Amino acid sequence: MVFKGMRKYSVPFLVILVCINLFMAFPCKAGVIWSDDFDDGDYNGWIVVRGVFSAEEKTLNATSDGCNIVHLSPVAS
What is the pLDDT, as a whole number, of residue 77? 61
Strands (DSSP E) along the chain, which ranges?
Answer: 47-50, 53-54, 61-62, 68-70
Every domain of the chain and the residues it spans: 2-70
Q: Is 54 in contact with 69 (CB distance < 8 Å)?
A: no
Render pLDDT for 9-62 as a digit per residue (tens, 0 to 9): 788 888 888 888 788 777 777 777 778 888 888 888 899 999 999 998 888 999
Render pLDDT for 1-18 as a digit per residue (tens, 0 to 9): 456 666 677 888 888 888
What is the pLDDT, as a whole number, of residue 27? 76
Residue 33: CA count within 13 A, CB half-sphere: 7
Confidence of residue 68 (pLDDT cuts 50, 70, 90): very high
